[in-house]
Protein backbone atom coordinates (compact mmCIF):
# COMPACT_ATOMS: atom_id res chain seq x y z
CA UNK A 1 0.00 0.00 0.00
CA UNK A 2 2.96 2.31 0.63
CA UNK A 3 3.99 2.16 -3.03
CA UNK A 4 0.48 3.14 -4.12
CA UNK A 5 0.34 6.01 -1.63
CA UNK A 6 3.74 7.39 -2.67
CA UNK A 7 2.69 7.16 -6.33
CA UNK A 8 -0.58 9.00 -5.64
CA UNK A 9 1.24 11.71 -3.67
CA UNK A 10 3.78 12.27 -6.45
CA UNK A 11 1.25 12.15 -9.29
CA UNK A 12 -1.41 14.32 -7.67
CA UNK A 13 1.19 16.56 -6.07
CA UNK A 14 2.69 17.61 -9.38
CA UNK A 15 -0.74 17.80 -11.03
CA UNK A 16 -2.05 19.98 -8.19
CA UNK A 17 0.59 22.73 -8.34
CA UNK A 18 -1.71 24.83 -10.56
CA UNK A 19 -4.64 24.20 -8.22
CA UNK A 20 -2.73 25.34 -5.14
CA UNK A 21 -0.71 28.19 -6.64
CA UNK A 22 -0.70 28.90 -10.32
CA UNK A 23 1.41 32.02 -9.70
CA UNK A 24 4.13 29.95 -7.96
CA UNK A 25 4.08 27.45 -10.83
CA UNK A 26 4.48 30.22 -13.39
CA UNK A 27 7.32 31.86 -11.44
CA UNK A 28 9.16 28.53 -11.05
CA UNK A 29 8.74 27.75 -14.74
CA UNK A 30 10.11 31.16 -15.70
CA UNK A 31 12.98 30.89 -13.19
CA UNK A 32 14.26 27.47 -14.31
CA UNK A 33 12.95 27.71 -17.86
CA UNK A 34 9.76 26.29 -19.38
CA UNK A 35 11.60 23.35 -20.97
CA UNK A 36 13.23 22.28 -17.70
CA UNK A 37 9.90 22.70 -15.89
CA UNK A 38 8.16 20.43 -18.42
CA UNK A 39 10.89 17.80 -18.09
CA UNK A 40 10.71 17.83 -14.27
CA UNK A 41 6.90 17.78 -14.38
CA UNK A 42 6.94 14.84 -16.81
CA UNK A 43 9.54 12.85 -14.84
CA UNK A 44 7.66 13.24 -11.55
CA UNK A 45 4.34 12.45 -13.28
CA UNK A 46 5.70 9.31 -14.93
CA UNK A 47 7.36 8.13 -11.72
CA UNK A 48 4.14 8.72 -9.82
CA UNK A 49 2.11 6.92 -12.47
CA UNK A 50 4.51 3.95 -12.45
CA UNK A 51 4.28 3.71 -8.65
CA UNK A 52 0.47 3.93 -8.80
CA UNK A 53 0.29 1.05 -11.28
CA UNK A 54 2.85 -1.01 -9.35
CA UNK A 55 1.32 -0.25 -5.96
CA UNK A 56 -2.22 -0.97 -7.11
CA UNK A 57 -1.09 -4.27 -8.61
CA UNK A 58 0.62 -5.26 -5.34
CA UNK A 59 -2.39 -4.19 -3.25
CA UNK A 60 -4.71 -6.43 -5.29
CA UNK A 61 -2.83 -9.52 -4.03
CA UNK A 62 -3.89 -8.84 -0.43
CA UNK A 63 -7.06 -6.72 -0.66
CA UNK A 64 -8.62 -4.93 2.29
CA UNK A 65 -12.35 -4.94 1.53
CA UNK A 66 -14.18 -1.82 2.73
CA UNK A 67 -17.53 -2.39 1.02
CA UNK A 68 -19.31 -4.57 -1.52
CA UNK A 69 -21.96 -3.42 -3.94
CA UNK A 70 -24.84 -5.36 -5.52
CA UNK A 71 -24.27 -6.93 -8.93
CA UNK A 72 -26.66 -4.43 -10.56
CA UNK A 73 -24.04 -1.71 -10.04
CA UNK A 74 -21.99 -3.30 -12.84
CA UNK A 75 -24.73 -2.19 -15.26
CA UNK A 76 -24.66 1.33 -13.82
CA UNK A 77 -20.88 1.37 -14.26
CA UNK A 78 -21.18 0.21 -17.87
CA UNK A 79 -23.59 3.08 -18.60
CA UNK A 80 -21.47 5.68 -16.79
CA UNK A 81 -18.43 4.57 -18.80
CA UNK A 82 -20.16 5.12 -22.17
CA UNK A 83 -19.30 8.84 -22.48
CA UNK A 84 -15.79 8.54 -20.98
CA UNK A 85 -13.81 7.78 -24.16
CA UNK A 86 -15.76 10.23 -26.35
CA UNK A 87 -15.13 12.94 -23.73
CA UNK A 88 -11.41 12.12 -23.61
CA UNK A 89 -11.14 12.46 -27.37
CA UNK A 90 -13.30 15.61 -27.36
CA UNK A 91 -10.77 17.22 -25.01
CA UNK A 92 -8.40 17.43 -27.97
CA UNK A 93 -11.01 18.31 -30.59
CA UNK A 94 -12.29 21.89 -30.96
CA UNK A 95 -15.90 20.88 -31.46
CA UNK A 96 -19.26 21.54 -29.84
CA UNK A 97 -18.79 18.86 -27.18
CA UNK A 98 -15.67 20.60 -25.90
CA UNK A 99 -17.44 23.97 -25.96
CA UNK A 100 -20.49 22.63 -24.09
CA UNK A 101 -18.64 20.55 -21.49
CA UNK A 102 -15.78 23.09 -21.21
CA UNK A 103 -13.36 20.60 -19.63
CA UNK A 104 -14.17 17.18 -21.11
CA UNK A 105 -11.05 15.45 -19.75
CA UNK A 106 -11.97 16.37 -16.18
CA UNK A 107 -15.56 15.26 -16.80
CA UNK A 108 -14.28 11.95 -18.20
CA UNK A 109 -11.98 11.46 -15.21
CA UNK A 110 -14.81 12.08 -12.76
CA UNK A 111 -17.15 9.67 -14.57
CA UNK A 112 -14.41 7.01 -14.83
CA UNK A 113 -13.52 7.30 -11.14
CA UNK A 114 -17.13 7.32 -9.92
CA UNK A 115 -18.05 4.36 -12.13
CA UNK A 116 -15.17 2.33 -10.74
CA UNK A 117 -15.92 3.26 -7.13
CA UNK A 118 -19.43 1.85 -7.60
CA UNK A 119 -18.09 -1.65 -8.24
CA UNK A 120 -14.70 -1.73 -6.49
CA UNK A 121 -14.65 -1.51 -2.72
CA UNK A 122 -11.14 -2.36 -1.56
CA UNK A 123 -8.91 0.14 0.20
CA UNK A 124 -6.64 0.34 -2.86
CA UNK A 125 -9.68 1.03 -5.08
CA UNK A 126 -10.92 3.80 -2.81
CA UNK A 127 -7.46 5.39 -2.69
CA UNK A 128 -6.97 5.15 -6.46
CA UNK A 129 -10.40 6.00 -7.84
CA UNK A 130 -11.38 8.25 -4.93
CA UNK A 131 -8.12 10.14 -5.35
CA UNK A 132 -8.77 10.73 -9.03
CA UNK A 133 -12.36 11.78 -8.33
CA UNK A 134 -11.34 14.30 -5.65
CA UNK A 135 -8.47 15.66 -7.74
CA UNK A 136 -10.66 16.10 -10.85
CA UNK A 137 -13.35 17.87 -8.81
CA UNK A 138 -10.77 20.17 -7.20
CA UNK A 139 -9.13 20.91 -10.55
CA UNK A 140 -12.52 21.71 -12.11
CA UNK A 141 -13.21 24.24 -9.35
CA UNK A 142 -9.72 25.74 -9.78
CA UNK A 143 -10.11 25.96 -13.56
CA UNK A 144 -13.48 27.70 -13.23
CA UNK A 145 -11.83 30.43 -11.13
CA UNK A 146 -9.19 31.22 -13.74
CA UNK A 147 -9.80 34.03 -16.22
CA UNK A 148 -11.49 32.75 -19.37
CA UNK A 149 -9.32 32.78 -22.51
CA UNK A 150 -10.33 35.16 -25.26
CA UNK A 151 -13.00 33.69 -27.51
CA UNK A 152 -12.19 33.08 -31.14
CA UNK A 153 -13.93 35.79 -33.05
CA UNK A 154 -14.51 36.24 -36.75
CA UNK A 155 -16.14 39.40 -38.00
CA UNK A 156 -17.38 40.29 -34.50
CA UNK A 157 -19.18 36.97 -34.00
CA UNK A 158 -18.01 33.78 -32.38
CA UNK A 159 -16.88 31.34 -35.04
CA UNK A 160 -19.27 28.44 -35.61
CA UNK A 161 -17.83 25.13 -34.48
CA UNK A 162 -17.66 22.22 -36.86
CA UNK A 163 -19.54 19.00 -36.17
CA UNK A 164 -16.72 16.87 -37.61
CA UNK A 165 -14.60 16.76 -34.41
CA UNK A 166 -17.69 15.73 -32.44
CA UNK A 167 -18.51 12.91 -34.85
CA UNK A 168 -14.90 11.72 -34.69
CA UNK A 169 -14.91 11.91 -30.86
CA UNK A 170 -18.17 9.96 -30.57
CA UNK A 171 -17.36 7.25 -33.15
CA UNK A 172 -13.75 6.75 -32.05
CA UNK A 173 -14.72 6.98 -28.38
CA UNK A 174 -17.45 4.36 -28.67
CA UNK A 175 -15.08 2.11 -30.66
CA UNK A 176 -12.55 2.39 -27.82
CA UNK A 177 -15.31 1.65 -25.30
CA UNK A 178 -16.20 -1.56 -27.16
CA UNK A 179 -12.52 -2.48 -27.46
CA UNK A 180 -11.99 -2.03 -23.72
CA UNK A 181 -15.21 -3.81 -22.82
CA UNK A 182 -14.53 -6.82 -24.99
CA UNK A 183 -10.76 -7.19 -24.90
CA UNK A 184 -8.39 -4.51 -23.57
CA UNK A 185 -9.68 -4.24 -19.98
CA UNK A 186 -9.13 -7.92 -19.23
CA UNK A 187 -5.76 -7.91 -21.06
CA UNK A 188 -4.46 -4.82 -19.29
CA UNK A 189 -5.99 -5.21 -15.83
CA UNK A 190 -7.05 -8.84 -15.56
CA UNK A 191 -10.66 -7.90 -14.87
CA UNK A 192 -13.64 -8.73 -17.09
CA UNK A 193 -15.76 -5.54 -17.07
CA UNK A 194 -18.90 -6.92 -18.67
CA UNK A 195 -22.06 -7.03 -16.49
Is the residue at 7 inside a domain? yes
Is 140 a member of any domain? yes
Are 83 and 130 in the same domain? Answer: yes
State the total domains in the chain.
Answer: 2
Q: List per-residue pLDDT tens for the chain, 195 residues long.
A: 899 999 999 999 999 888 888 888 888 888 888 888 899 999 999 999 999 999 999 998 899 999 999 999 999 999 999 999 999 999 998 889 998 998 999 999 999 999 999 999 999 999 999 999 999 999 998 888 776 654 443 344 445 567 899 999 999 999 999 998 888 888 888 787 776
Largest CA distance in the chain: 62
pLDDT, residue 18, reads 83
Residue 69, burial from CB neighbour count under 10 angstroms (0-12, 13-18, 19+): middle
Domain, as residue range, for 78: 64-144+161-195
Burial readout 147-177 (b: 16 or more C-beta within 10 A, e: otherwise): eeeeeeeeeeeeeebeeebbeebbebbeebb
Q: Note whether 35 and 94 are same-domain residues.
A: no
| Exposure string for 178-188, b = 16+ CB within 10 A, e = fewer | eebbeeebeee
| Same domain membership, residue 174 and residue 78 | yes
Q: What pLDDT is recorded for position 193?
A: 79
Task: Kindly state whether residues 180 and 127 are assigned to the same domain.
Answer: yes
**169 in the same domain as 92:** yes
Q: Around 9, how many Cα atoms within 13 Å sit in the side-chain half-sphere? A: 6
Amino acid sequence: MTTLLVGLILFFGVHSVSIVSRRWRDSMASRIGPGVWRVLYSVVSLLGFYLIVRGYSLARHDPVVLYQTPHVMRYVTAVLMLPVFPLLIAAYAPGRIKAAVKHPMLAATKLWALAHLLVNGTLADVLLFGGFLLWAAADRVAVSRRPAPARQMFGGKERARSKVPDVIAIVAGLALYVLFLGWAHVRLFGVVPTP
